[in-house]
Chains A and B, each alone.
Chain A
Amino acid sequence: MILAASLLAVLAVLLAWPVPLAVARSTWPDRAPGTALLLWQAIALAGVLSLLGSLLVAGLAPYGPHPIAALRVLTSDVGHGEIPPATSYASALALAAAVLLGVHLVLNLVATVIRTERQRARHRSLLLMLSAPMPEAPRTRLLDATAPIAYCLPGTARSLTVLSAGLLDLLTEQEVLGVVEHERAHLRQHHALVLVAFRAWRIALPWFPVARRAQHAVGLLTEMLADDQARRSVPDPVLARAIVVTSGGTGGEPVEDGPASDPVSVERRVRRLVSPAPIPAGVRIAVPVAALALVVVPPLLLALPAFAG
């Protein structure tokens, strides 16, 4: 079991730092955003599983050679009101850490989902009072603001696409179509679900710089995926121009600088539209295989008796 615990710990460390750093620095994700999004999800899931798994296996080691049998020994002893004699300080600490971390992550996910839902509900309630429906477009609201704004408000029952009067003034009809298709793609592909999971992950693990990096990368990848949907309806240069024009200013609205203003992301989105490049053949096959392996390996290390030495 020491071998399994060590392997899981090594995997957890790799997934906490060098692997996400390498993915974040590579350039292929801009060309294959869907594949990259899959990989980020696998990294996050496998990272959490291996971290929890290594603590769990280390904590269960005194009770038997196999984690599941050891868990049975522990629960039956604890059920009889006894602490197993093999328990050491280290193993008790590892078990407690595994349980606390697991509970922390689950509670945090639930809290983040609830908070996000509340924020959306508040925004929706304001929006419905302050914007007019667009008769020619279903579930689209027009905001009377000079800043060029476009966003979508995901909702379980009724999602909304929001455009501002300033945006319609600045963009041509084709460009507006591109923007609308982009927002619809976010809603259709349920990007909000992936984003809330990574948001929860970042909030739960504030001491892991990787969580912030992952959230940023995933946010940008969903934008690229939505761009790719919009490209089906409008030519690339039209979409590129829409992105640049809308990023160009706030139309005189006074705003503070927020973390969401990110010129690098805008540039990366425009560059891939202006000079598209093919996906490297290796990426197309190797990355999905690696993503699958990442998710499968931690449970295997827990379950395989081969590692129970």
Chain B
Amino acid sequence: MESLGELERTALEQLWDAAAPLTPGELRDRLATGDQRGLALTTVMTVLSRLEKKGFVARDRTVRPATYAPVSAREEYVAELMHDALGAAGDRTEALARFVGRASADETAALRRLLGLG
């Protein structure tokens, strides 16, 4: 795996897939089944603390060892991201430069005729 950022993403995916909060050790074992061979526990801890700082995961300190769980479901983040990206989020979408806005079916049909696409 090329970067810490990608490791964070894989770790978060594992936490989303897990049925219950995971300890760093459990997370390392889950990551080791994929292409993450020989991952040090300290690296997993670093990744988890970075994810916690970014607000993606929460740590439960009442148990020992502490466990980590995602703050929100994956679907919620996807919905937020798509809301921005598809231009439904008015003001926030202005922060992005999108390739095209959306046209209605009628207008698209007219444009397709213009291009001879049928």
A binding-site residues for B, Cβ under 8 Å: 116, 119-120, 123, 125-130, 132-133, 143, 145, 147, 149-154, 162, 164, 179, 182-183, 186, 191-192, 195, 199, 222, 226, 237, 240-241, 243-244, 246-250, 253, 255-263, 265-267, 269-271, 274
Contact = CB atoms under 8 A, between A and B. Distances in A.
B40 interface: no
B103 A143 contact: no
A266 B90 CA distance: 18
B97 A244 contact: no
Given A183-B99, A246-B99, A250-B102, A258 B115 contact: no
Contact of B117 (A151, A244, A263): A244
A222 B100 contact: no
Contacts of A237: 115
B6 to A, nearest CB: 7
Main secondary structure on A side of the interface with B: helix
Contact of B108 (A149, A152, A186, A247): A247
Contacts of B102: 247, 249-250, 255, 260-261, 263
Contact of B115 (A151, A244, A259): A244
Interface string B7-32: 01100100000000000000000000
Contact of A128 (B9, B112, B114): B9
A273 B97 CA distance: 20
A258 B86 contact: yes
Contact of A250 (B9, B86, B94, B110): B86
B103 A266 contact: yes
A263 B106 CA distance: 10
Contacts of B81: 123, 126-127, 130, 143
8 contacts: A123-B81, A126-B81, A149-B98, A151-B97, A243-B100, A255-B83, A260-B90, A263-B102
Interface string B60-102: 0000000000000010011011111111111011111111111
A263 B99 contact: no
